[in-house]
Amino acid sequence: MPRFIMLRLIPTLLFVLMLPQAPSAQWRAAAPATVVKPEIIRIIKHDPAAFTQGLISADTILYESTGLIGQSTLRRVDARTGNVISKIPVPDVFAEGITIFKGELVQLTWQHGFAIRYEYPSLKKKTSTYKYNGEGWGLTNDGAGFIMSNGSDTLYFRDDKFEVTRKLPVRLNGRPLVYLNELQFAKWMVYANVWYQDFIVEISLADGRVSKVIDCSELRKIEGTALSNDNVLNGIAWCPKRDEWYLTGKNWKNMFIVKIP
């Protein structure tokens, strides 16, 4: 998510808060989350100038949303090579997560209170927008409606008019998991980046429990950069045809195609 509020974070404290410490009675019987590592299938290039906020796989095409005021874009990317095919400037907003739903591609904005709507697959911008309160971070859909994050520990389910229909608190080993960011719906679960962490979580839509933690620290080692708010892991796209995942980060030079155990 945005670089500007990094100064408020104490990442070590955040990590400690997420460890299994004296869970409440409601969660005491729940099994702790399984930790797995992704299997790297291949690596393709990624534009290191792309401040990645959202990623979608559509077979041989990836759609990528990049952020920062004056630099935000919506891109078509070749999923085989990582080459940028085309990009649409979105200069006046800080663009965020994206999803494709009911013939539209929808792109969140961070603090502007609206989502941009494009016809899909033409990407012709519509004149109307979806309105919402608060911040926009990650966006996906489950085929019935939108699922959105705003940096808190809660997922927001929205209908096709973008009205909130359900709120789902997310818990990792019994503790609230904050800074939920980029989202991907797959296999009746939601997968989420956690801002400023090298892991992705698998979230049950039934109760909000994190059932799996995907440790992506090896990807960062290959990327060869130190963790910072400018190059945090961000970007999850699932290709159901091959059951492969595209993972990358803000300003990363690599995109990783992986299998998740």
How many helical (H) and strand (E) elements, i.e. helices and strands, does the chain have? 2, 23
Of the ranges 28-37, 133-142, 234-243, which one carries the lowest mean pLDDT score? 28-37
- The partner residues of 213 in beta bridges, in order of sequence, read 35, 201
pLDDT digits (tens, 9 = 90+) for 36-48: 999 999 999 999 9
Residues 6+ apart with CB under 8 A from 5: none
1 within some domain: no
Sign, Cα dihedral of 146, 96, 202, 7: negative
200 within some domain: yes
Residue 12 to residue 126: CA distance in whole angstroms: 43
Spatial CA neighbour of 195 closest among 235, 158, 166, 155:
235
Average pLDDT, the chain: 90
Q: Domain residues for 60?
A: 41-259
Q: Which residue has the higher pLDDT, 26 or 120?
A: 120
109 within some domain: yes
Share of the chain above pLDDT 90, in %: 85
149 within some domain: yes
2 within some domain: no
CATH of the domain at 190: 2.130.10.10
pLDDT digits (tens, 9 = 90+) for 107-153: 999 999 999 999 999 999 999 999 999 999 999 999 999 999 999 99
6 within some domain: no
pLDDT of res. 31: 77
Q: What is the mean pLDDT of residues 84-107?
A: 97
Q: Which residue has the higher pLDDT, 22 or 187?
A: 187
pTM, rounded to two decimals: 0.88
pLDDT of res. 230: 78
Spatial CA neighbour of 134 closest among 152, 160, 107:
152
205 within some domain: yes
pLDDT digits (tens, 9 = 90+) for 158-217: 999 999 999 999 999 999 999 999 999 999 999 999 999 999 999 999 999 999 999 999
Q: Which residue has the higher pLDDT, 3 or 48?
A: 48
- In this predicted structure, the answer to whether residue 20 has a pLDDT above a threshold of 90 is no
186 within some domain: yes
* Helices within the chain (DSSP H only): 11-17, 217-223
Count of structural domains, the chain: 1
Quick one: DSSP state of residue 28? T
